[in-house]
Structure 1
Amino acid sequence: MAINALGGTPGPPAAAVGTGGRGVRGGGGGGGRGIRSNEQIAGWLFVAPVIVILGLFLLLPILMALWVSLTGWNGQGSPFTSGVPFVGGHNYSKLFLEDSLARRDFMTAIRNNIYYVAIVVPVQTALALGLALVVNNRMLKGKGFFRTAFYFPSVTSSVAISVVFLFMFSSSGAVNQLLSAIGISGPQWFADPRGVLQIVLGVFGLHDAPAALANGGPFGLSWWDWLSGPSVAMCAIIALVIWTTSGTFMLMFLAALQNVPVALDEASTLDGATTWQRFRYVTLPMIKPTMFLVLTLGLIGSWQVFDQIYVMSQGSPAKTTLTPAFLSYRTAFRNFEYGSGAAISFVLFLIIIVLTLLQRYLLRERDDAGRRPWWRRRAVGRS
């Protein structure tokens, strides 16, 4: 028996005080049971159905599609039989490395989608924020009507709206009729494969590509192909998408604007801030999380555009409206190259993930030290 350090009689172990001689360990470890062990079991029981459903209908199909992307499956029978050829990364390499029609189509789709994203995401975000500022104005009468009117296109069937726009932008449609009323001969919207830059240069008599841009370029496309701009057909689809998606993002911005404390706006007004200064230094910082959400959802949706392409153009004219999502569908379900179609889908998934992470990095919260250039931060660290 150990002797107390102060020379007294030995007392009971500290772990046994008030416990009847039983040791108590934090978190229910050892031989004892934690007081929250039953809550943990109940929590897992409650979330188990959701985990099982997501695993069966989300995770498992993704893993199956990943396996299909590594095979040469043509849609006949099961892709998991021994008769299906395993090609490894060939479906991916031919999209980037092989000089083939598959790579040219994929890069054409990437080029078209880059123009699409570069126009749709900024414009729809700015339009949605502007509409939210308008309907959030306390002096505006009939707010309910305007909110419903702006949001209505977002809840209408995209297929129905695409058909309406297809008639509007036809050769004898309403858009060309309006242009002819002001003396402009409207373009053949879904028959002209030229890019916007080519059309503008054609007005000045430059119908051929410059010699420096006609040859060479990355991934099998010439520099002229990359820089010619979106076709007028893609511009029509862009106008449709901006009109139908801005209402949803307007509601998100409106909810954020209504959470901005009125006292901040009033205090900035008393300090002599102008309307632009109040918007720039008070409103925008307060709605930054919503801005990130809108940009992220817009970026993801823009790279996944499919239904408007399927209804209005199916990649025509001359593949100028071809997108990776539609190319994946066409490759798999029309050309019966399911492995290549799945590979395109996973490459598109990686593009979306990388761009989302980049956007999150650019819009992250920065402290004062983070705002300094890297060379200044290094100099401060050395001092």
Structure 2
Amino acid sequence: MALSTTRARSAPRTTGAPGEPDSPGAAGTPPTARDRAPRTGRRGEGFWGWLFVSPMVIVLGLFLVLPILMALWVSLLHWDGQSNPFSGQADFVGLDNYRALLTEDGLDRTLFATSLRNNAYYVLLTVPLQTIVALSLALIVNQKILRARGALRTTFFFPSVTSSIAVSTVFLFLFQGSGAVNSLLSWIGIKGPNWFADPRGVLSMVLGDLGVVDPEKPTGVLADHSFMGLSWFEWLSGPSVAMCTIILLAVWTTSGTFMLIFLAALQDIPRELEEAAALEGVNRRQLLRYVTLPALRPVLFLVLTLGLISTWQVFDQVYVMGQGAPGNTTLTPAFLSYSSGFDNADFGQGAAIAFILLALILCLTVFQRWALRERGERSGRKR
């Protein structure tokens, strides 16, 4: 009797294929509104999410995506900026602006190659130096036994929040022929150069002093072969003395910002790792190599990526401190793009330079991501 009552009270259940749990109700019963509630809730959340972010999406579309598309169209035109580029009054030249910069012999390609050479040396020297200086400063101000840590952090960060135009103007006075830097060098018996008027490449000067090559009249393979209108000697002559001054300025003004990024990452490293390393008897150098740097790998990639992007876009220091002089040895692609549009009234070529620079930055960022990846990621996935 009790068994029959229990069966009567229990809901009818259907059985499916072997291994599947029984489902309540009769076979073929449609899902109830309660079963559909989670999916409907997700759709509602998606709708409200897009509704709340739509103002920012609209702003980004109007002021970021749309101008990029307009600039891409302008790069295909010969446009002087005086007419409407979308009304058909400007001449459509297709890829001629890109060909003039990359493949055709002429002044445009020579200037563009010169700007790439100058900026490449700027990147190769600035990014490693500012990263090393920033990490060193972060390690120093992270010491708990150090007094006045707050004052030191403020001092190191202060150049980063100062106007780049103002700092560049100050550097112009410091590195004049009779400026403070040359006065300090004279105290130790060194005659400083005329920094912003010296177009000589640093590497060519060193090779000339060693007697390897004559910087005034190079001969041989370095002078007989060329790439994009510049001889191999011009490519390998190194940054000019004037460009080295801009590199010092960039390292001094950007290290403070990256110091704060490294400092935040250092304070986020678990204390247990350092204590375990101390129990193992490691010294400070081993702690930095095997504990600190591996923990800072994501932050290191961030700092290097930000440094790479900003150094390829350098403009304001070049505009204030030389505008390409002396001898186009401080010319950069960003300033050349500006000069092509606003000085030479060739906005199509200026836009083409900007998009070539964009493609170059994207390729270098992808390569950097590949170079700094975890070497065990792929093998770990295969397992």
**Structure 2 length normalisation: TM-score?**
0.89
Q: Is the 8 A contact 1:153 1:243 kept in 2?
A: yes
What are the residue-to-residue correspondences of 1:309-328 with 2, within 5 Å?
309-328=318-337
Q: Partner amino acid for 2:106? A: S
Structure 2 CA distance for partners of 1:127 and 1:103, relative to 1, 3 Å: same
Deviation per residue, 1:84-107 (Å, 9 max, x gap): 111111111111110010000000
Unaligned 5+ runs, structure 1: 29-33, 372-376
Instruction: Give the structure 1 partner of residue 216 of structure 2.
Output: 208
State the 1:12 CA deviation: 3.1
1:63 equivalent in structure 2 = 69
Match of 2:55 among 43, 49, 73: 49
- Once the two structures are overlaid, the 10-residue window that deviates more, 315-324 or 264-273, is 264-273
Letter in 2 for 1:63: L
- Cα offset for 1:23? 10
Q: Which amino acid aligns with 2:231?
A: S
SS of the aligned residue for 1:147 comes to: helix
Q: Compute the displacement of 1:83 (Å).
A: 1.7
Give the superposition deviation at 1:185.
1.5
Change (3 A) 1:181 1:42: same
AA partner of residue 173 (structure 2): F
Q: Cα 1:219–1:256, aligned 2, differ >3 Å: closer, same or farther?
A: same
Question: Following the alignment from structure 1 to structure 2, what is the Cα–Cα distance between the partners of residues 264 and 357?
Answer: 31
Distance (whole Å) between structure 1 residues aligned to residue 153 and residue 34 of structure 2: 64
Per the TM alignment, residue 336 of structure 1 is displaced from its structure 2 partner at its CA by 0.5
Partners of 1:5 and 1:181 in 2: CA distance: 96
CA contact (8 A) 2:200 2:240 kept: yes
1:170-194 CA-partner distances (Å, limit 9, x unpaired) = 1111111111222211111111111
Structure 2 partner of 1:88: 94
1:110 to 98, 103, 116: 116
Task: Kindly indicate whether the alpha-carbon contact (under 8 Å) linking 2:83 and 2:90 is maintained by their aligned counterparts in 1.
Answer: no
Does structure 1 residue 194 correspond to structure 2 residue 208? no
Aligned-partner Cα distance in 2 for 1:185–1:202:
18
- Does residue 287 of structure 1 match 2:296? yes
**Mapped contact 1:69–1:91 kept (Cα < 8 A):** yes
User: What is the match of residue 231 of structure 2?
Assistant: 222
Q: CA deviation at 1:195?
A: 0.4
Mapped to 1, the partners of 2:268 and 2:118 lie a distance apart of 38
Distance 1:183 1:90 in 2: 54
**2: CA distance between counterparts of 1:190 and 1:197?**
17
Deviation at residue 24 of structure 1 after TM alignment: 5.3
Contact 1:303/1:352 (<8 A) preserved: yes
The residue that corresponds to 1:12 in the other structure is 26
Offset of 1:201 from its aligned partner? 3.8
Letter of the 1:197 partner, please give it.
L
The runs of at least 4 consecutive aligned structure 1 residues that moved more than 4 Å come to 22-28, 368-371
Aligned sequence identity (%):
57
Q: Which residue of 1 aligns with 2:85?
A: 79
User: Where in structure 2 are the equivalents of 1:172-321 lying within 5 Å?
Assistant: 172-203=178-209, 206-212=214-220, 213-321=222-330
Per mean C-alpha deviation after superposition, the further-off stretch among 209-218 and 60-69 is 209-218
Q: Look up the match of 2:3.
A: none
Offset of residue 208 of structure 1: 2.7
> Take 1:112 and 1:363, find their aligned partners in 2: how far apart are those partners?
25
User: Residue 164 of structure 1 is aligned with which of 170, 173, 185?
Assistant: 170
User: Helix, strand or coil for the counterpart of 2:331?
Assistant: coil
Q: CA RMSD in A?
A: 2.1
Q: Give the C-alpha shift of residue 366 in structure 1.
A: 2.5
CA contact (8 A) 1:196 1:229 kept: yes
* Distance in structure 2 (CA, Å) of the matches to 1:280 and 1:89: 49
Q: Does 1:343 align with 2:352?
A: yes
The one-letter code of the counterpart of 1:188 is N
Say if 2:83 and 2:89, in contact at 8 Å, map to a contact too. Answer: no
* 71-80 vs 101-110, greater mean Cα deviation: 71-80
CA distance in 1: counterparts of 2:29 and 2:137, whole angstroms? 65
1:125 is matched with: 131
- Unmatched segments (≥5 aa) in structure 2: 1-13, 17-24
For residue 372 of structure 2, what is the aligned residue in structure 1? 363
Shift of 1:207: 4.0
Shift of residue 52, structure 1, vs aligned partner = 0.6
Q: Deviations over 1:98-125 (max 9, x none)?
A: 0010000000000001100000000100
Separation in structure 2 between the aligned mates of residue 185 and residue 120 of structure 1, nearest angstrom: 25
In structure 2, distance between residues paired with 1:68 and 1:332 = 11
- Whether contact under 8 Å (1:195, 1:229) holds in the other structure is yes
1:233 maps to amino acid: A
Match of 2:43 among 32, 37, 40: 37
For the residue of structure 1 that corresponds to 2:334, the secondary structure is helix
Shift of residue 81, structure 1, vs aligned partner: 1.3
Task: Provide closer, same or farther for how the CA distance between residues 174 and 26 of structure 1 changes in structure 2, counting only shifts above 3 A.
Answer: same
Question: How many residues get paired?
Answer: 358
